[in-house]
Amino acid sequence: MKGLVKQGDRIQIMDVEEPKVDDSGVKIEIKYTGICGTDLHIYHNDFEVTDSIVIGHEMSGEVVEVGDDVKNISVGDRVTVLPSNVHTCQRCEYCNKGLYTLCSDRKGMGLHVNGGFAKYVVVREDMCYKIPDHVSYEVAAMSEPLAVVTQPIEELTTIKKDDVVLVTGPGPIGLLASYVLVNKGCKVLVAGTSQDQERLNLAKEIGCERTIDVTREDLHAIVDEETNAIGVNLVVECSGSGHAIKSGLDVLKKTGTFLQVGVIGKDVTLDFDTILYKQLVVKGSMGHGITTWEKVMEILKKSGDDLEKIITHRFPLSRWEEAFKICDAKDGAKVLIYNTSNA
């Protein structure tokens, strides 16, 4: 079969061995795989992965074969895949808490073992989650990034209906965070730059209260207007921008919460006096835990058409490079790769 492989410092489509099913395995024919920011880092050679690995970890597909010991997944099931815990130690304090992404021994799909930019993958039964009937394969392929935003919003803070939230960075992660917050009944403000105009428009389409182009508008003045100069209850920072981090801390209300979700990739300076004098709570969120995925499936069960709007491009595997360049240029929002018989 064909797979998108990172070999040395190059990514290319190559012939790879079709995976075989053991007694505990589930073989999935991949329908869609999303391009993640991590995949872009791999593309630019600034993220280390196992050599000659099939990349990609945001996937959905149909089960085509199961091992003899598999009990709850059947051939024909439509599934999405929890890709981050192919291997963990199962002994450390993080594994015991279900926080497998923090395990020092963790191996993930598309990073350390073959991932989703191929026709087939084989995974364990406990990594498979059945897709609700009304949810498309395309939307289901966003389950993993949806988990990335669900963990901080649902598990690391307490946010209530009618609270005012600022989301900084309207990329796919920011838009998914906005979707979760809008559906919790929050008043969501989304900040980006002039380069993000299409994405800011999408934020309005999924129900955000207001979008802010920080290169043309005064973020602080708008937050004052929207909150009677009190400040927002919560900031969900998805851009990884040092400027956005500083601005987010500045516009938080006293005792507010700041959630860092976007990867920064470089040193930034935090204004600890602001954190101190405003008595702020600042938390980072890494990936997702096992309980997060249960919440994601509940979100998908209740979802309507708005999640479809976040998907702006779909490409066959043969056009992977064009798809990656669109992501690099921040054109559109979520970009998916699909498999075809001749890919």
How many residues are present in the chain? Answer: 343
Copy the structure tokens of residue 121: 């993958």
Copy the structure tokens of residue 261: 């979700």
Predicted local confidence at residue 341, as pLDDT: 47
State the 10-residue block means of pLDDT for the chain, 343 residues long: 95 96 96 94 90 96 97 97 89 92 92 95 96 96 97 95 97 97 97 94 96 97 98 97 95 98 87 96 94 95 92 96 93 91 40
Go through the domains of the chain in sequence order and give each one's CATH number. Answer: 2-144+288-338 (3.90.180.10), 157-284 (3.40.50.720)
Predicted local confidence at residue 305, as pLDDT: 86
Predicted local confidence at residue 263, as pLDDT: 87
Which string of DSSP letters, residue by residue, matches 218-261?
-HHHHHHHHHTTS-EEEEEE-S--HHHHHHHHHHEEEEEEEEE-
Buried b (16+ CB within 10 A) or exposed e, 75-85: eebbbbbbbbb
- Residue with structure tokens 């290169």? 215
Predicted local confidence at residue 47, as pLDDT: 84
